[in-house]
Amino acid sequence: MIPRHLIIAVVVMVAVALAMGFYVWRMPRRAAVAAPVPSNTQPVAPPASGPTENVTLYIAYDDSGSLRARTASIPLPAGRQERAEELLRALIDIYLDKSSPHPLGTGSEIRDVYLVDPGLAVIDVNGAFANLHRSGVLVEELTVASLIETLSANIPGITRAKILVDGNQRDTLAGHIDLTNFFDVAAVSQLAAQLQNTP
User: How many C-beta neighbours within 10 Å does residue 194 have?
Assistant: 11
State the nearest-atom distance from the C-beta of 120 to other proteins, in Å.
10
Q: Is 57 in the site for other proteins (CB under 8 A)?
A: no
Residue partners of 18: CB distance under 8 A and separation at least 6:
none
Q: Which is nearer to other proteins, 52 or 169 (CB)?
A: 169
What angle (nearest 5°) sits at the alpha carbon of residue 21, between those of residues 18 and 25? 140
Of 21-29, 30-38, 89-97, 187-195, the window that binds other proteins (rule: CB under 8 A) is 187-195
Q: Is 191 in the site for other proteins (CB under 8 A)?
A: yes
The residue type of 186 is A
Among 62, 82, 112, 166, binds other proteins (CB under 8 A): 62
State the nearest-atom distance from the C-beta of 136 to other proteins, in Å.
4
Residue partners of 36: CB distance under 8 A and separation at least 6:
none
Q: How far apart, in Å, are the Cα atoms of 104 and each of 22, 91, 142, 181?
A: 53, 11, 12, 23
Interface residues toward other proteins, by CB under 8 A: 62, 65, 134-139, 141, 144, 159-160, 171-172, 175-178, 180-184, 187-188, 190-191, 194-195, 199
